[in-house]
Amino acid sequence: MDALSALLQEKIKPEKILYERGYAHVAGVDEAGRGPLAGPVIASAVVLPQTWHHPDIKDSKKLTAVKRERLFYAIQEHALAWNWALVEPPEIDRINILQASLLAMKKAIETLGMTPDYILIDGPHAISSFIPQTPIIKGDIKSFTISAASIMSKVVRDSIMKKYHRMYPLYNFLRNKGYGTKEHLEALRIYGHCPIHRKTFKRVAPAEKN
């Protein structure tokens, strides 16, 4: 880890340090959906104006669904660029969830519509990219742009899972979004897995009725 990456890793508001060093377009990247038993993993990349701030933007897990929806549209309106990408369950099963998450992040950056000067990534792992980057542990707490990306990813994924609920209502994806709730596990026990379940996940693999 170089000196700049080490500094960014330990600081709150790492974007400020990058702006002061001449990086004009900083992309925040985060994913949603590593833990669920079903559905895709989603990653979003967001580049925000240096002067724009919203006091409610923070780690998406600390926000209500209603507030995330409102912030989604605010971020979309003000972002210089943003995009999301997904990796579907068959690919997750093939390459594992960590590699699928990193791949989704890579795809989100590559389809952003602009080339950022620097990338801030939530978590300890870098992505495959020629662009300078720093993975930041608990980045969704430390970085405003990563927090924005986490909100975008969560809202997009929840929307996708609502659509899957209509296709596979037995699992109540509307409520659990694919996570291993008691209700979801009971549905897996009774009905087996459906096409969007991650079949290599331990709590899904024993269910073979479908």
* pLDDT tens digits, one per residue of 47-89: 999 999 999 998 778 899 999 999 999 999 999 999 999 999 9
> pLDDT value at position 58?
82
> pLDDT value at position 153?
97
Q: What is the pTM of this model?
A: 0.94
All structural domains of the chain with their residue ranges: 3-162
> pLDDT value at position 119?
98
> pLDDT value at position 11?
82
Q: Give CA–CA dist 39/176, Å, rounded.
A: 11
User: Among residues 5, 9, 22, 27, which one has the least CA distance to residue 110?
Assistant: 27
> pLDDT value at position 110?
97
Asked if CATH classification 3.30.420.10 holds for the domain at 3-162, the reply, yes or no, is yes
pLDDT per residue as tens digits for the range 168-179: 999 999 999 999
Q: Which residues of the chain have pLDDT under 50?
A: 207-210
